Amino acid sequence: MIRAIEKLLEDDTAGDPMGGLKWTRKTTEKVSRELASAAIHVSPNTVARLLSDMGYALRVNHKKRAARPSHPDRNRQFDYIAAKRRSFQRRGLPIISIDTKKKELIGRFKNPGAVWAQTPTPVNDHDFRSDAVGLAIPFGIYDLVDNRGHVFVGTSHETSAFAADALARWWSRDGRLRYPKTDKILILADGGGANGPRRHVWKYALQTKLCDRYGLTVTLCHYPPGTSKWNPIEHRLFSEISKNWAGKPLDSFDTMLKYIGTTETKTGLKVKATLIKRDYETGTEIAKEDVVSLNVRRHDTLPAWNYTITPRRSRSAKM
């Protein structure tokens, strides 16, 4: 029963990466009707109870309404992403969700949450950046098909080059071993940050570091502005990591990597963690001729958010 509900809500679930709560756009009545069409007859009240057991929550009004209304193409993009996911899944092609988790100060700083312990762990009374060992930038990659995560922790800046390097390392170490016969991949991403759809430097980094190098055709679908919590990585990976280190100070990079790498769930989630010490410069721009050389095809549906980058030449992957 629970597996049937999970499958039904696969494209309509959002979640809080910090608290672990999940929610859906569908009502319990609609879920009940759709289950009935699959010969599973349960009442809306039973659906509500099962959703609660699965970590879903009812939501109340909060004074968090942004001045800007929802984007008019919000639902259209959600439907397009759902269709792309189904298309890639039918063909056995990889689908990954990417994002940068909240940056973390490394040191004896308070981490929200509580743990069972005889005595509380003493931490700094203020979160001063100058007291930190460093700043951790966790860029996550979540494999929706195989329920696997890999978090690459940067130590300098969140840039397009850093995100693309993390993706290239993931493909080299995980992706191409898991999907040895594929040359196509679908990436789900937020609409801003280092991997924003308007950033030429992001597309150039993907073109050179992933597409050209490994002969991969990469399709990108971005979530509309203000909808990042619908990106699967938020509630399937980041929320589980947050629960694993809740109440425990991240006093070193090794400690952070340990908590990420030991994150797992009863549904089979496994996570890897890798530290990237390279220094990434901010404000990098690319030349106009490099922009022109990009092999990018924008989709007919909402082309600002959906595009495919294909290799510019056949080239064997470097080891």
Question: 111: alpha, beta or left, given left = phi > 0 and alpha = psi -120 to 50?
Answer: beta
What are 36-88's pLDDT values in tens digits? Answer: 777 777 787 787 777 777 677 655 444 445 445 788 999 999 999 999 999 99
Q: Report H helices in 207-252.
A: 212-214, 232-233, 239-244
Measured distance CA(37)–CA(42) in Å, rounded: 11
CATH homologous superfamily of 74-309 = Ribonuclease H-like superfamily/Ribonuclease H (3.30.420.10)
* Average predicted confidence (pLDDT) for the chain: 88
Q: Where are the alpha helices (DSSP H) in the chain?
A: 2-8, 28-37, 44-53, 74-90, 160-170, 176-178, 200-206, 212-214, 232-233, 239-244, 253-261, 288-293
Q: Which segments of the chain belong to CATH 3.30.420.10? A: 74-309
**DSSP-based three-state secondary structure for 227:** coil
pLDDT tens for 184-236 read 999 999 999 999 999 999 999 999 999 999 999 999 999 999 898 999 999 99
* pLDDT tens digit sequence for 149-173: 999 999 999 999 999 999 999 999 9
**295 with 211: CB under 8 angstroms?**
yes
With a threshold of 0.85, does the pTM exceed it?
no
What ranges make up the beta strands (E) of 115-182?
Answer: 134-143, 148-154
